Structure 1
Amino acid sequence: MKKIKFCVDQAVYKNIPGHRYIKINGWILSSEEDTIQVFSVLNGKQIHHKRFAVERPDVQKKFKRQHVRLKSGFDIKIDLGEIVPEEYRLYVKKNGVTQKLYKLDSSDFAEIEDRKSLTLNVDGIYIDKDHIVVNGWSVSQTDRDIQFKVTDSQGEEVELSMELRKREDLYKLRLTDKKHILCGFKATFLYDRDKEYILEVTDTVDKKTLSLVPGELWKARRYEARKGFIIQAAKKFKLKNIYKVYRYIAENGVRGLKGYLIERINSNVKPYDEWFKEHQLTDKEIEAQKKKRFDYQPKISIVVPTYNTPLNFLQEMIESVQNQTYANWELCIGDGSEGNQELEEALRTYQEKDSRIKYKILPKNLGISGNTNGALELATGDYVGLLDHDDALAVNALYEVVNALQEADYDVLYTDEDMTSYDMKIHKDPKFKPDFSIDLLCSHNYITHFFVVKTEIIRRIGGFRSEFDGSQDYDLIFRCVEQAKQIKHIPKILYYWRMHENSVAGNPASKMYAYEAGKRAIEEHFKRTGVAATVEHTDLWGMYHVIYETPGDPLVSIVIPNKDHIEDLEKCISSVQERSSYKNIEFIIVENNSEQDKTFAYYEELEQRYGNVKVVYWKKEFNYSAINNFGVQYAKGDYLLFLNNDTEIINETAISEMLGCCMREDVGVVGAKLLYEDDTIQHAGVVIGIGGFAGHVFVGLDKDDYGYMVRPRINCNYSAVTAACMMTPKEDFLSVGGFTEEFAVALNDVDYCLKIREKGKWVVYNAFSLWHHYESKSRGYEDTPEKIRRFENEINKFRKKWKEILDNGDPFYNSNFSLEKEPFNL
């Protein structure tokens, strides 16, 4: 009899009152044709157990020749109740043959018995500039909340920022259940290299601790930084770059190259707090701003809701307004503290000393929206600015707003911001934002602070709505930008958001009601603007996934240039045909200069196999733009998807995700998230100016990495995306003359996107349309002298044509970021 191949990975005997069970997981080698039954015998009697099939791609890969089913894993749980386990046997019956897989006797139960209620797993610990970051997950068998705390070597508690995350991966592996799916965490705190730290995790019944030594982490960080830099550099290496390396070694030696690489790595790790201090106004600049007399001097009403505000917070907030270098302001405070005499006295004192300060004692606490509306009733200014009672403004905040208003009659203005420590002495976590980005706004409230709007607009829309408390600013911002004709982003850190235990900044997962209100704010925005879409939470709290409908399910024409490489083309086409849930598609294969007879035989077979595939023949020299323009002539669809032949669809909704965005009237181009074969990012948007012309961002990051401000993980706008996978309405394509044919090889996609931007339409990066891109397999890199000259010639043409955006900067890339370093670095 042939033995069944299997493995038991883990056996657990949990013995906690109310939570007594045996849990066993592992895998059984089986194919889709095999019949598998698993049963348990406890203390001599067959007993009911819960069994879940678990996906095990690792097993499938290890035994790839045996056609193992994906769900070859098992997770078995036996609830014990009051039963005392003495012996346990696990049996499997495969195709009628029974075999004992596993056994536990009383001595085994004594050895594996677990009376602890808390599980803590750490996925990674690393240093991010001036912070230590701990990623992991923790589950409690009790129904108590899990608490996190960090103390230093002197026993002093350290301010800790916590993010809780959904862990769908653990649920799929049956390592947690639906009830505990929000078990992932990211713990971040500011560190001192001379101290050691302890992370304590507790559910009040059980406790786990983790030692964190900055010196040891720095050693690991240097190694990982160098390794990561070399890996990313290797992915970008082309022949001409290798020649540069050889020349560099010849001139500077291997040690010199090593020093250069380390310098490149370390150049990007300057602590933000240090950068912040270097960019503060000098006393001379402050005095010059105070003396400045603008032609247009609007009054700005700053509205603040207060509720039992600590007096030190109140003082710092008010003084940050009084210290403004622009003087035509009023501070309007709506207080709902209900008889807080100490706070009322403080407000009265401030008002007596400065008539620009107004306050209103409300009859009761009306919530954050009601209290803010109370403050808004006092406003007499031309513009209204929003300020929270525990935050502060930079000294030049209002000056910069009014300075911007000299250039145009803006309806809405917003600035960059950062977070501060409790005492506001340390600045961290800067939010260097793009110019107005509607898709980013529909993914999360990236605008937040400092937000300024015309008073007439905020009154017209009716102020704040209490039913959106928790995300009342988000709802208000949507309604304001819907009314705005001109929106201005000021790329300066002008708002300081204080982190403390009661703020969303300090513990975002503590306010689930706020995220639900945020979801409703987006949904209401779509209702008002007539957009058919569904809004879902992502596994990152406060980030949303908008799924746009595709009314009428129009035909999508997929245009793929091809020269030989039929294995790549087959993988590309078959992956879309088999995996895509969107079926109204056609393929236009543009054959250009293939040299192998088998390629043409394959074309015939392909057209016979699929009724939606058409091969057309381009007989001139290679010109990417001209080839695709030629292919479009044969396209019957209203929407065009330009696709490289070395791509492969990953998720079944990849095309419908792109199409939903593309069918919006305000959108002209949609790009996708493209991954290398190792599931690191190849494309997640293009920024104009990087490298002197244009470059991809987030290259080499893991597909699940958050990146800067979570942009690789959510939909947002860029100036351009790659045409390796790019969708556009055919009407727009024809209206701008298609791809510009003078860009035969390089920058044709970026040029096309910029032409669409000139029409006033958005370019959208859709993070939920996932594809593998094996990159330039068909044509190779620009690695010969002739190709390099052609490439450089097209770059020069691009620089000449798009000089304005290169000079002024990409609107979707903050001007504080360097164009010379890796993207999103100061």
Structure 2
Amino acid sequence: MSGASRTLWVFGAGHPISSVRNALRSALGQSSQFEEVVGIVDAGMLDQLSLPDSPTRLIAAPDGDGSGLLNTLLAQTPSDWIVWLDAGNELTREANATLGRTVGRFDIDLFYGDTQLADGEVRRRPAPSPIRLLSQDYLGGVRGFRSDRLRSVGGFRPGLDGAHPYDIALRLGADERRVLAIPEVLSRSVSAIGSLTEAHRSASADAVAARGVTAEVSLAGSALRLRYPIDGAPLVSIVIPTRGGRATIRGAESVLVVDAVRGMLERTTYAPIEIVVVADDETPQAVIDSLVEVAGERLRLVRWSGPFNFSGKMNRGAVHARGDYLVLVNDDVELISADWIEVMLGLAQQPGIGLVGTMLYFEDGTVQHGGHLYRDSWAGHIAFGWESGRDDALGSLGVDREVSGVTAACAMISADTFWEVGGFSPLYAGNYNDVDLSLKVRSTGRSIVWTPHAELFHFESKSRVATVVPEELATIRRHWGTRLLSDPYWR
């Protein structure tokens, strides 16, 4: 046996006997590489699952709570690792060899890998994502737990039948540095993803509480929804650059910045906000007058007299902002979610989160932004142009999740973090300013989170071809190099 020693648990309780049999058979060819293979199955299956000349040990799952049995097995195992295989999944022939090459090389407590579906498609899983894990068990049907670490956190808890692997992943995976995502196919999945239950909700709520965080956790379809309460009532400054432009929106002429500000003030449910508008000298006086009329004392008007530079304008707005948090937003947006500030602020106040982005839609309702996507030295948008309601196989667009970056068309950052990283770089007057900001935030060790629960329209045309200045492209590639080659959160 190469690498750290491993025991395989095939969890078949509650699964069809055909799925259990196939899962067990997938392990037989690799049984010599496990110290032990244990099948945990419904009592009625024992006689039907006889495996002649097999080292597999079959154990009947109890009718009630199964944590006692699992803790007994945990106490008995001499292996460094427990590999958990849910029936409905089958180990690939290469799985154990892959584990032998990788797991023993890293000081980790939890691992998982990719899955091949019945139609041959590979479900690639993201890098370790603690915020996402609170809402969604994205790890798949094969995962591994370090035995001594599992014992040290108390083993399997009662009352969580059906959610034990999720609960353990939450407790061992809170520190993403202790988690390994293996970018190889470890299993074949032959059954649909199971629905979440009250046990999953309870496991997530307990994990949140263990981190000293208060949040309301509720079932939301195939995922969980976490609502983080606001700590205090900090002033939020909404910083908007503008030239006072007009556009036709839904067949009617719109003065973009005026309508954006009006919509925010009429619909936003969070009260302590100010509107900081950075207006070019060319902005028509009628637009300025309308802003004053709409926003009144909440408006802070800042002039911009230089050549166009998005970064410079946003930095100047941030200088004049009085808020503890900044919302960086374009002037061509329209609010959908009245509680957008509460949603973003609740996340932005969580430990370790440096920047929060939102779901943006084009005027026709298709998706414009589901987070940044960095690949092949380019930066784009996840789910760009997708129909509303479309999602990937993991359900990524329905949960709060870590991303590599977010667009400054709508994002929240604390003022302290903004200035700690130097704000926007003036080297990026038109493009890549938010990419650079995102990567600077991540370089401090903070994460960036995108949420689907704060939604806006962004009236930028999806057919628009952005004019990329070669110098800006060369600068971002020179500055960030390999960070733009592949995206760990969207594989």
TM-score of the alignment, normalized to the shorter chain, above 0.5: yes
Measured at CA, do residues 598 and 390 of structure 1 come closer, stay the same or move farther in structure 2, by a change above 3 Å?
closer
Amino acid aligned to 1:394: T
Task: Tell me, in whole angstroms, the C-alpha distance in 2 between the residues paired with 1:652 and 1:358.
Answer: 56
The answer to whether the 8 Å contact 2:358/2:410 transfers is: yes
Specify which of 224, 233, 249 is matched with residue 553 of structure 1. Answer: 233
Instruction: List alignment gaps of at least 5 residues for structure 1.
Output: 1-292, 352-356, 421-426, 500-504, 815-826
The answer to whether the 8 Å contact 1:334/1:375 transfers is: no
Correspondence for 1:120:
none
Q: Does 1:738 align with 2:423?
A: yes
Correspondence for 2:481:
803
Q: Does 1:763 align with 2:448?
A: yes
Correspondence for 2:410:
725
Task: Tell me, in whole angstroms, the C-alpha distance in 2 between the residues paired with 1:562 and 1:542.
Answer: 40
Q: Does 1:661 align with 2:320?
A: no
Question: Helix, strand or coil for the counterpart of 1:298?
Answer: coil
Q: Does 1:526 align with 2:233?
A: no
Q: CA deviation at 1:687?
A: 0.6
Question: Helix, strand or coil for the counterpart of 1:702?
Answer: coil
Correspondence for 1:751:
436
Instruction: List alignment gaps of at least 5 residues for structure 2.
Output: 247-254
Q: CA deviation at 1:403?
A: 1.9
Amino acid aligned to 1:536: S
Q: CA deviation at 1:668?
A: 0.5
Task: Tell me, in whole angstroms, the C-alpha distance in 2 between the residues paired with 1:418 and 1:782.
Answer: 36
Task: Tell me, in whole angstroms, the C-alpha distance in 1 between the residues paired with 2:464 and 2:17.
Answer: 64
Q: CA deviation at 1:343?
A: 4.9
Specify which of 54, 58, 73 is matched with residue 350 of structure 1. Answer: 54
Q: Does 1:392 align with 2:90?
A: yes
Task: Tell me, in whole angstroms, the C-alpha distance in 2 between the residues paired with 1:635 and 1:801.
Answer: 29
Task: Tell me, in whole angstroms, the C-alpha distance in 2 between the residues paired with 1:745 and 1:414.
Answer: 40
Task: Tell me, in whole angstroms, the C-alpha distance in 1 between the residues paired with 2:479 and 2:20.
Answer: 53
Q: CA deviation at 1:330?
A: 2.2
The answer to whether the 8 Å contact 1:675/1:682 transfers is: yes
Q: Does 1:590 align with 2:267?
A: no
Q: CA deviation at 1:392?
A: 1.7
Equivalence map 1:197-212=2 (5 Å): none
Task: Tell me, in whole angstroms, the C-alpha distance in 1 between the residues paired with 2:307 and 2:320.
Answer: 19
The answer to whether the 8 Å contact 1:369/1:464 transfers is: yes
Q: CA deviation at 1:564?
A: 2.0
Question: Helix, strand or coil for the counterpart of 2:385?
Answer: coil
Correspondence for 1:792:
470
Question: Helix, strand or coil for the counterpart of 1:535?
Answer: strand
The answer to whether the 8 Å contact 2:17/2:45 transfers is: no
Task: Tell me, in whole angstroms, the C-alpha distance in 1 between the residues paired with 2:155 and 2:175.
Answer: 13
Amino acid aligned to 2:190: R
Equivalence map 1:416-435=2 (5 Å): 416-420=114-118, 427=119, 430-435=122-127
Q: CA deviation at 1:527?
A: 0.8
Q: Does 1:331 align with 2:36?
A: yes
Q: Does 1:301 align with 2:2?
A: no
Deviations 1:351-391 (A, max 9, x none): 3xxxxx445567x5455544444443432111111013453
Question: Helix, strand or coil for the counterpart of 1:521?
Answer: helix
Amino acid aligned to 1:663: Q
The answer to whether the 8 Å contact 1:575/1:648 transfers is: yes
Question: Helix, strand or coil for the counterpart of 2:35?
Answer: strand
Measured at CA, do residues 662 and 299 of structure 1 come closer, stay the same or move farther in structure 2, by a change above 3 Å?
same
Question: Helix, strand or coil for the counterpart of 1:468?
Answer: coil
Task: Tell me, in whole angstroms, the C-alpha distance in 1 between the residues paired with 2:445 and 2:258.
Answer: 37
Question: Helix, strand or coil for the counterpart of 2:98?
Answer: helix
Amino acid aligned to 2:400: N
Measured at CA, do residues 399 and 792 of structure 1 come closer, stay the same or move farther in structure 2, by a change above 3 Å?
same
Task: Tell me, in whole angstroms, the C-alpha distance in 1 between the residues paired with 2:164 and 2:310.
Answer: 48
Question: Helix, strand or coil for the counterpart of 1:482?
Answer: coil
Task: Tell me, in whole angstroms, the C-alpha distance in 1 between the residues paired with 2:306 and 2:207.
Answer: 50
Task: Tell me, in whole angstroms, the C-alpha distance in 1 between the residues paired with 2:6 and 2:373.
Answer: 35
The answer to whether the 8 Å contact 1:515/1:542 transfers is: no
Task: Tell me, in whole angstroms, the C-alpha distance in 1 between the residues paired with 2:97 and 2:226.
Answer: 37
Deviations 1:430-465 (A, max 9, x none): 421111112221221111322112111111122222
Specify which of 94, 100, 121 is matched with residue 402 of structure 1. Answer: 100
Q: CA deviation at 1:695?
A: 0.4
Specify which of 102, 125, 131 is matched with residue 439 of structure 1. Answer: 131
The answer to whether the 8 Å contact 1:646/1:776 transfers is: no
Deviations 1:539-582 (A, max 9, x none): xx321221111120211011001112271111111111010111
TM-score (norm 2): 0.90
Q: CA deviation at 1:480?
A: 1.4
Measured at CA, do residues 335 and 591 of structure 1 come closer, stay the same or move farther in structure 2, by a change above 3 Å?
closer
Q: CA deviation at 1:772?
A: 0.9
Q: Does 1:498 align with 2:194?
A: no
Specify which of 569, 576, 586 is matched with residue 264 of structure 2. Answer: 576
Equivalence map 1:447-486=2 (5 Å): 447-482=139-174, 485-486=177-178
Equivalence map 1:655-734=2 (5 Å): 655-689=341-375, 692-734=377-419
Amino acid aligned to 1:382: D
Question: Helix, strand or coil for the counterpart of 2:440?
Answer: helix
Correspondence for 2:252:
none
Correspondence for 1:620:
306
Measured at CA, do residues 473 and 497 of structure 1 come closer, stay the same or move farther in structure 2, by a change above 3 Å?
same
Q: CA deviation at 1:685?
A: 1.0
Correspondence for 1:245:
none
**Higher Cα Rg: structure 1 or 2?**
1
Q: Which has the higher contact order (CA 8 A, sep 6+)?
A: 2
Question: Helix, strand or coil for the counterpart of 1:700?
Answer: coil
The answer to whether the 8 Å contact 1:448/1:474 transfers is: no
The answer to whether the 8 Å contact 2:130/2:174 transfers is: no
The answer to whether the 8 Å contact 2:359/2:454 transfers is: yes
Percent identical pairs in the alignment equals 27
**RMSD of aligned Cα (Å):** 2.7
The answer to whether the 8 Å contact 2:24/2:39 transfers is: no
Q: CA deviation at 1:314?
A: 5.1
Task: Tell me, in whole angstroms, the C-alpha distance in 2 between the residues paired with 1:699 and 1:430.
Answer: 21
The answer to whether the 8 Å contact 1:334/1:374 transfers is: no
Moved more, 457-466 or 446-455: 457-466
The answer to whether the 8 Å contact 2:278/2:302 transfers is: yes
Q: Does 1:610 align with 2:296?
A: yes
Amino acid aligned to 1:445: D
Task: Tell me, in whole angstroms, the C-alpha distance in 1 between the residues paired with 2:51 and 2:175.
Answer: 34
Amino acid aligned to 1:812: Y
Q: CA deviation at 1:604?
A: 4.6
Q: Does 1:536 align with 2:222?
A: no
Task: Tell me, in whole angstroms, the C-alpha distance in 2 between the residues paired with 1:766 and 1:390.
Answer: 31
Question: Helix, strand or coil for the counterpart of 1:522?
Answer: helix
Q: What is the total number of aligned residue pairs between the two structures?
A: 483
Deviations 1:492-549 (A, max 9, x none): 22112332xxxxx27x46xxxx5221111111111111111112222xx321221111
Q: CA deviation at 1:764?
A: 0.8
Task: Tell me, in whole angstroms, the C-alpha distance in 1 between the residues paired with 2:76 and 2:190.
Answer: 26
The answer to whether the 8 Å contact 2:46/2:60 transfers is: no
Question: Helix, strand or coil for the counterpart of 2:4?
Answer: coil
The answer to whether the 8 Å contact 2:126/2:490 transfers is: yes
Question: Helix, strand or coil for the counterpart of 2:453?
Answer: strand
